[in-house]
Structure 1
Amino acid sequence: MTGAEETPAGVTAEFADGTRVTADVLVGADGIRSTVRQLIDPAAPGPRYTGLLGFGAHSKTEVPQARPDTMYFAFGEHAFLGYWPVPGGGTAWFGNLPCEEPLSAEQARATPSAAWMRILRERFAGDVPGRDLLRGTGDDELLTFGGLEILPSVPTWHRGRMVLVGDAAHAPSSSSGQGASLAVESAVQLARCLRDVPDVGSAFATYEQLRRGRVEKVAAQAAKTNSQKSMGPVATKITALLMPLATRTFLKPEKMFGWTHRYRIDWDAPVVPG
């Protein structure tokens, strides 16, 4: 899509091949590099690099006593590693490597997997189980995702008959684990608002009111996690010493994650404009 033309009765999307499509509203679900976001607000921010590269693979190594229904997060001396047991044997893992230079997936993949594996094995050499998981991973098993990005707060979600949804409006870092979930939530809430609020402008405004606070809280939490993933060795060791105490006192799972994972939308409830 290259442009859009609005009238009081509808909006026409224009495409590079000359195609024009007219509808009542235009929903920009076109990702973190959204064209619709720039049409709504030419000054809207674009994605920012988090300072972390993403990798993942399957390892032949099995972590002793790792539960099959649990995902584990390990903040190592130099890098972060997440892992979980795989049915049939072995362990799936993903890691984030601090890197000053932002690399796209294509740029990162230009470096051979064997070279990245040498770097990863070196960074995780002092960590357990990271060291063993990397030893059990073949070079050709490595998946390279490039730089992880986050979308800063987008000031304007809608204008006229155009509105943003999903990563086009709110793309938290992958560290949140909530990108797809937030996109689905927003799609459902937008549909409810268009169903129940006759005026398009009011429907879009109500949708934003229902969503902005939640998505920005998730994004802020993900940004905090990113900073923890790139901590230096000293800060990592201090955190490791304090974490057992914290989890026994104020860092209870329900308090930390309940508001995120227990979010529910009542589809049948009518939406009342705010």
Structure 2
Amino acid sequence: MATPLRVLVHGGGIGGLTLAVALARSGHTVEVAELRGELDALGVGIIQPSNALHVMGELGVLDACVAAGFPWEVLTICDQAGATLAKVPQPRMGDAPAGNGIPRPELARVLGEATSAAGVPIRLGTTITELTDDGAGVEVTLSDGSRARWDLVVGFDGIGSPLRTRLYGDRFAPEYTGFANWRVTVPRLPEVQGVVVSTGRTSTKALLTPITDELMYLAAVTAEEEDFRPDPARAHEQLKERLAAFGGPVAEALAAVTSPDGVVYSRISQVTVEEPWHVGRVVLAGDAAHASTPNLAQGAAMAVEDALVLARSLDAADDVPTALAAWEERRRARAMFVQNLSRALLKEETGSPTTPEEDELLKVGMPGAAHVLVEPY
């Protein structure tokens, strides 16, 4: 655009910080409002597939991500006993590695430092309390009492997005899938040189992901009642009960889990905003618009792609409405492909019934999806 924009990013997670950096480097004025009191991310580690790493390269932080994590090129598939069934080389996007495991706090640090270097203020402990879009701009009041007018407000505020509720009410609330994700950080086994996926006779899947030379995380996807929560005193024992049938490296990793400390449990839910992702000059992106199950490990990748493409769309268009329409036209099909195939894989891996449409997607499978997703975003 001929005139730089004023953009408020609601949410200082992976997608929000990526957008802030990309916009600031294009000359726009950006601020981030983040509800948490610090950027340090909760959880354990995260997988950055090659398309996500390509975005990091566009931001100039690829080397920092790789240095803080553990790059890898091959996906290993094992049976429940731990025997290797296949080693599948993963495709690359450009010069980025096929994948990188990284501790979530380290990724938050890398993106936080890039945001600071781009000159973007981050208002911690702050959220939107009032918002009025008059068509030409958005008047916003934040919880710290400050008020300002913005050309665009972008909600990268996660699966529980308060901005989504403000725009659409409860029409697109998170839908629980019936499954949950357990994760815990353990010492890396020497043989775990990339992601290791173990599946078998039960409806449980286990995964090992290296995130540094010294560490990896163990993840398990299990069927759980919606109201189940682990016992804080014996979460590690409950995890071991669910993985009792697994041998090999999963069993070795599990043996290192000797207390409930560090066991992270989260229900797997999905969000699909079926209406346009923007209402006037307020737009949703990432998990706020299209949260997926983790079966393709593409949730964060879709968020950073959303961010970079939105920044480019704003630079290329003559006005905000045209930019938002072009951005969504470019992003929706790709995000829905990831969401729909991820859900189909979850059903297949856990023995749940699939629809004819999901059966068609499953013909693509994880190997095919990896090749699709290293195509330009």
Length-normalised TM-score, structure 2: 0.56
Give the Cα separation in 1 of the matches to 2:227 and 2:349: 16
Out of 86, 92, 113, the residue aligned to residue 217 of structure 2 is: 92
| Contact 1:44/1:155 (8 A) holds in 2 | no
Partner of 1:47: 174
Partner of 1:226: 346
Out of 193, 199, 203, the residue aligned to residue 75 of structure 1 is: 199
User: As a proportion of its length, which structure holds more helix?
Assistant: 1
Partner of 1:240: none
Pairing 1:117–2:236 present: yes
Residue aligned with 2:348, SS: helix
Pairing 1:160–2:280 present: yes
In the TM superposition, residue 142 of structure 1 has moved relative to its aligned partner by 4.2
Partner of 2:319: 199
Partner of 1:264: 376
Partner of 2:152: 25
Give the Cα separation in 1 of the matches to 2:265 and 2:302: 21
Deviations 1:180-231 (A, max 9, x none): 1111111111111111111221211111100000000000111112223433
Structure-2 change in CA distance of 1:92 and 1:18 (3 Å)? closer
Partner of 1:101: 226
Q: 1:171 corresponds to which letter in structure 2?
A: A
In the TM superposition, residue 172 of structure 1 has moved relative to its aligned partner by 1.2
In the TM superposition, residue 88 of structure 1 has moved relative to its aligned partner by 5.6
Give the Cα separation in 1 of the matches to 2:180 and 2:365: 29
Listed as ranges, the matches of 1:169-180 within 5 Å are 169-180=289-300
Consecutive unaligned residues in structure 2, runs of 5 or more: 1-127, 354-362
Residue aligned with 1:212, SS: helix
| Contact 1:55/1:144 (8 A) holds in 2 | yes
Listed as ranges, the matches of 1:129-148 within 5 Å are 129=248, 130-140=250-260, 142-148=262-268
Give the Cα separation in 2 of the matches to 1:46 and 1:252: 28
Q: 1:122 corresponds to which letter in structure 2?
A: E
Out of 318, 334, 355, the residue aligned to residue 214 of structure 1 is: 334
Structure-2 change in CA distance of 1:59 and 1:4 (3 Å)? closer
| Contact 1:61/1:136 (8 A) holds in 2 | no
When the two structures are aligned, how many residues end up with a matched partner?
Answer: 239
Residue aligned with 2:290, SS: coil
| Contact 1:154/1:170 (8 A) holds in 2 | no
Deviations 1:128-164 (A, max 9, x none): 2233432332124542222122212432211211111
| Contact 1:53/1:147 (8 A) holds in 2 | yes
Partner of 2:64: none
Consecutive unaligned residues in structure 1, runs of 5 or more: 236-249, 266-274
Give the Cα separation in 2 of the matches to 1:254 and 1:22: 46
| Contact 1:61/1:90 (8 A) holds in 2 | yes
Residue aligned with 1:139, SS: coil
- Could you say which structure has the larger radius of gyration? 1
Q: 2:198 corresponds to which letter in structure 1?
A: A
| Contact 2:280/2:321 (8 A) holds in 1 | yes
Give the Cα separation in 1 of the matches to 2:162 and 2:312: 24
Give the Cα separation in 1 of the matches to 2:136 and 2:188: 61
Deviations 1:55-78 (A, max 9, x none): 222446847xx352x211111424
Structure-2 change in CA distance of 1:84 and 1:156 (3 Å)? closer
